[in-house]
Amino acid sequence: MQKKSLIRIGTRGSQLALAQASEVKARLAAAHEELRDPDAIEIVVISTTGDRVQDRPLAELGGKGLFTKEIEESMLDTSIDIAVHSMKDVPTILPDGLVIDCILEREDPRDAFISTKAAGIDDLPAGSVVGTSSLRRQALILSRRPDLTVVPFRGNVGTRLRKLDNGDVDATLLAMAGLHRLAIEPAGMAAIPASIMLPAVAQGAIGVERRAADARIAAYLAPLNHGESATRVTAERAMLAELDGSCRTPIAALAKLAGDRLTLYGLIVLPDGTQRHDVTREGAASDAAAIGRAAGQALRESAGSEFFRILESG
């Protein structure tokens, strides 16, 4: 008879999501001898709304929780013990009874520019077509290059790269972290400096969610948490929470640490790129959440009510 798994990991079924779940499984096994048995950890694939609906932009689907809701429901009904998420997909408010207090060491948070026709965004000829499913990427591209055309570009990494190869678009943007985790290096790939394209909040970070009352799982996860990455993600998500951000809101942020000091760069921009507001806040790393909230408040004040009215009507 097959032994019951000690830990059941819930994840989306994409190639990237499975790679991230496998990374968590490997780290758990490395940290705990009893988890090295082949049957000790089970990966459970769960289909989410964001996975099932592929014919519409994410912003049209309602924003928050598109890639997490069904997984969290499975955790609450104890079908799984933990959930592995790309933190950029996780709403700032978690369901009652769930926590994320384990952040793996962050990968490269930058975006990747991919094209065989140009070396970067600034080198694309006027009228070039760029494919992306991200409102943030769309808005920042148009803010910098209003002479380009941006079109919706859904699908997993492989699908998007095939569309690019087929000539559907002249260029596309993906997360460097995802490409690294899949060990993919497409032709014509270049990392975009954060000064040109500020990343999504928590991009490149993997978070592990658990039931708040589950002390057994908390003990298993504790060695996996990377303190510096968690601090950076805390600041960025606090800014996002202050702005009540969703997939309908083009928001970007990146926190950097230098010793015990944290610097947070943030921005909000209209989807058409016509209005952009930037902020920088610095302070003690121990005040990460407060720095994030202050940055969010500053952005809200500098943008003004008219900015958000346009965003909501849009």
Element housing 136 (H / E): helix 135-144
CA distance 149 to 252: 21
pTM: 0.92
Same domain as 63, residue 125: no
Report yes or no on 124 lying in a domain: yes
| CATH number, position 213 | 3.40.190.10
Element housing 139 (H / E): helix 135-144
Report yes or no on 218 lying in a domain: yes
Same domain as 219, residue 233: no
Task: Please identify which of the residues 39, 51, 81, 89 carries the catalytic annotation.
Answer: 89
Report yes or no on 66 lying in a domain: yes
Which residues have CB under 8 Å from 49's CB, separation 6+? 61, 65, 66, 67, 69, 70
pLDDT at position 1: 41
Same domain as 157, residue 230: no
| CATH number, position 312 | 3.30.160.40
CA distance 164 to 174: 12
DSSP per-residue codes, 174-192: EEHHHHHHTT---TTEEEP
For the chain, the domain total comes to 3
Report yes or no on 196 lying in a domain: no
CA distances from 114 to 117, 121, 138, 168, 189 (A): 9, 9, 15, 13, 4
Burial class (CB in 10 A: 0-12, 13-18, 19+), 41: buried
Report yes or no on 32 lying in a domain: yes
Same domain as 220, residue 230: no
Report yes or no on 263 lying in a domain: yes
Angle between helices 157-165 and 15-31 (to 10 degrees): 140
Rounded CA Rg of the chain: 20
89 is an active site residue: yes
Same domain as 141, residue 82: no
Backbone angles phi, psi at 125, to 5 degrees: -65, 150
Report yes or no on 6 lying in a domain: yes
Same domain as 92, residue 217: yes
pLDDT at position 57: 56
Same domain as 181, residue 41: no
Report yes or no on 239 lying in a domain: yes
Same domain as 215, residue 100: yes
Domain that holds residue 184: 111-191
Closest CA to 118 of 213, 178, 187, 221: 187
As averages over each run of 10 residues, the pLDDT of the chain (314 residues) reads 82 94 98 96 90 58 71 95 94 95 98 97 97 94 98 86 94 96 95 97 98 98 98 97 77 97 97 96 98 97 92 78
Same domain as 100, residue 213: yes
pLDDT at position 313: 80
